[in-house]
Structures are given as structure tokens and as C-alpha cells.
Structure 1
Amino acid sequence: MSASLSVSIEGWDNGKPIPGKYAFGVPAAEGHVALSDNLNPKISWNDAPEGTKSFAIICHDTDVPSAGDDVNQEGKTVPEDLPRVDFYHWVLVDIDADRSEIAEGEDSKGITAKGKAPGKQGHGVTGINNYTDWFAGDADMGGDYGGYDGPCPPWNDSIVHHYHFTVYALDVETLGLEGTFGGPEALAAMQGHILASGSYVGTYSLNPDVPA
């Protein structure tokens, strides 16, 4: 069993609503949703155990509808009892062991149509998030979405969405991942290498009748 990392995020209290500047979309009077600042939040960690050789960060939403039939449809509501699945918003691995934070905006500043290229960055190696799947086939937005892209849950969902930012301390300098790997691939590569982990949670909603 792995030990616990102490993880903190500037911008909101653990378990509380995520401010709009860290989101992909914010509520709008017309059209329900407007694009937002899409900044990654400042995330920091400490209490890494001896032997830590790198860190990884995974952010995922655990409340995404498993079927899209009612998503963002006028006159409909995504039912509360619909089974939910994971949606990955940030996959970052091979963070140097001497780092203890990712600064606000270091991984994402604004929305990049067709996505940011994944791969080696100054702060680690980014994988793709699930906006890659969401925008697949969209002539204006389709592409590989590397690094962080923030919350934008259905504006007609009946439940609040929960975003789990998890930091992992690993016993390897690199997971050897490259190209368009995502959250599942990163988590699979970490198995057997996790020395410690810790999470910080934020909530978000675009439905005015379901406050976060």
C-alpha cells in the first residue's frame, strides 16, 4: 500500500467549486456556455517518500454521462441515475523529482482550437485528454488535446461533477510513454511504481439549477 502525499491547489478549498478561470466553459445567458480562460491551477505537493524519482499528475472527472443521447439537448435533462464514466482532463508524467509544484498557467493558458501538442514539456511529458475524443470529427476543433483542458460538463446535467487532481510519487525517472497516450495508459504504466499519492477535489456545474 502506497503512502500519502500532501496535495494542495490554490484557487479553491478541497471539495469546493472550481473557479471559472480554470474551466474550459462557463455559464452564458445565450447558448448556455461560453469559452473560458482554461488556466491550469497551481498544484503543489510535499511529503514525497525517499526513493521518489519522478511525479505524475492525473485529473479526471468521475461523473461524465456514459451515453450522450440527452447531453446538451434543449428540453432534456441528463438523468441522475445514468451510469457515469471517467473523463480525463490532464495527463502529465515524468515530472522531475526535484519539483514540488506546477504553476498556474504553466501547462495551459486559454483554449487552443484543435488542441495542444502532447509530448515533452519543460515541466514533464503531457499525454492527451478526452477532449480529443469529444471533438473528434469536428472541423473547427478536432485534434489531439495534450496537457490540461478544464471542466465543461453538460449544461443540462442533473448532477454536480467532481474533478480529482491526483499526484503520484514514482520510483522510476520515466514511464517511457510517448505519442498520444491517455489517462488509462499512464495509470497502467504506473502500476508497481507508485510510492505515494494524494488527491485534491473540485466541483463544477454549468447547469444553473444545479449549483456546484
Structure 2
Amino acid sequence: MKLTVKGITDGQPVPETFAFGVYSEEDHMSFGPNRNPELEWSDAPEGTKSFVVIMFDPDVPSKADDVNQEGKVVPRDLPRVDFFHWLLVDVPPDMTRIPEGADSDGVIPKGKPPGSGPIGVRGVNTFTHFLAGNPDMAGTYGGYDGPCPPWNDELVHHYHYEVHALDVESLGLTGEFEGDAVREAMKDHVLASARVTGTYTLNPDLR
């Protein structure tokens, strides 16, 4: 399979158009345009019955104590975990393109609804947990929400955009399912996969 993410070159920075948070000289971070990028894929194998779209960041701090704290840094050698930014399952087999902005166009406080959306079925991204303690933002975040790494992180984050071709029409996931559930349900059903990786940072010393 071949995947193209329009505007993102493999290994190069993700444009701010696709980011949840953008650099601000005054207060470190402000909301970005938060548009999903255009994805287009080809050469799916014979027998493909649906697609899954996943976008995740494997570089998120495993401990959030020092995240976005004045006078502190998130050290490069801190153990990291996956943060899911985009989960779409049961994408029809005749669909090979998701237009820019089709699943997200702007930051939506308290999140977009999960479940059946404009493309397939939306899972719940990890902003649901990250923003749970913020009364103005807490909610269930479905679909795409873009990069917003800690502005004091010593590590540049990587963002993996993936499309997986499956041999089943549906993964049977309902309700507020998350990334680990998608990965578990996909096991033994993946016919082919493709990935494009971009980078992003809000740390002014790394930009």
C-alpha cells in the first residue's frame, strides 16, 4: 500500500494547519487550526473489506508532573507512551481519500462526538484523558485532534499517520472505544499497512 499525507513529507515537521496547539511567544501555546490533513492511499490488496485510520504520537511523557510547568523541563530520557490523535474504523473499502478538514476543522472545546461520523466510525482520542482536569475543555474527544506536545519537552515528537487494510467489513467496536481496543480488534485482520511520519514541537529551543 502507498499513503500520501498532503502537506506532510515523511520525517519533516507537521504544518501548523494540522495542529491542535501552535507556538505562542506570550503564553507558550495557543489553539491552532486543528484541521485533519488530506490522506490518500492506493494499492490496497485484493480482499480488502474496510480500512482503519490511526494517527498517534509515541513520544508522550509517561509522567505528566512537569508537563507545561514554568521553570521545569520534561527530560529527553523520560519513558514515553502512545497518545492517540485520530481513530477511524470501518472505513468503506471503496474510499481511498479523506479530504482536508473533513473530520476536524478547528478546536472544539469538550470534543467532537465519537461514533458514526463523516468517514467510518470515530474512536475516542487521548485528549479525552489529557484535558479531563480542565473544566473549560473536559469532554469526550472523537475523531481527529492534532499535535499539541508539551512546550517544555526536550524531545521533538513524532506523529505516525497510518492506514490499514483489513479483511473484515467491521471491527464491531461501539461506544467510546480507544486506541488499544482498535489495535486489539485489528489483530489477525491486517492485509497491508502504510505510514507517513511527521514531527512537531512547541519548545522554542527546538523549533
2:42 to 40, 46, 56: 46
Indicate the residue corresponding to 2:104 in structure 1.
108
Instruction: Note if contact 2:33-2:106 (Cα within 8 Å) is conserved in structure 1.
Output: yes
2:183 to 170, 177, 187: 187
The ranges of structure 1 where at least 4 consecutive aligned residues each deviate by more than 3 angstroms after the TM superposition are none
Unmatched runs of 5 consecutive residues or more in structure 2? none
1:1-212 paired onto structure 2 within 5 Å: 5-211=1-207
Unmatched runs of 5 consecutive residues or more in structure 1? none
The one-letter code matched in structure 1 to 2:202 is L
- Pairwise CA distance, 1:15: 1.1
- Pairwise CA distance, 1:138: 2.1
What CA distance in whole angstroms lies between the structure 1 residues aligned with 2:16 and 2:169?
34
Q: 1:21 to 1:115 in 2, by over 3 A?
A: same
State the secondary structure of the residue aligned to 2:29: strand
State the secondary structure of the residue aligned to 1:189: helix
Instruction: Note if contact 2:57-2:159 (Cα within 8 Å) is conserved in structure 1.
Output: yes
- Pairwise CA distance, 1:136: 1.0
Instruction: Note if contact 2:103-2:118 (Cα within 8 Å) is conserved in structure 1.
Output: no
Instruction: State the identity as a percent.
Output: 56
What CA distance in whole angstroms lies between the structure 2 residues aligned with 1:140 and 1:78?
25
Relative to the length of structure 2, the TM-score reads 0.98
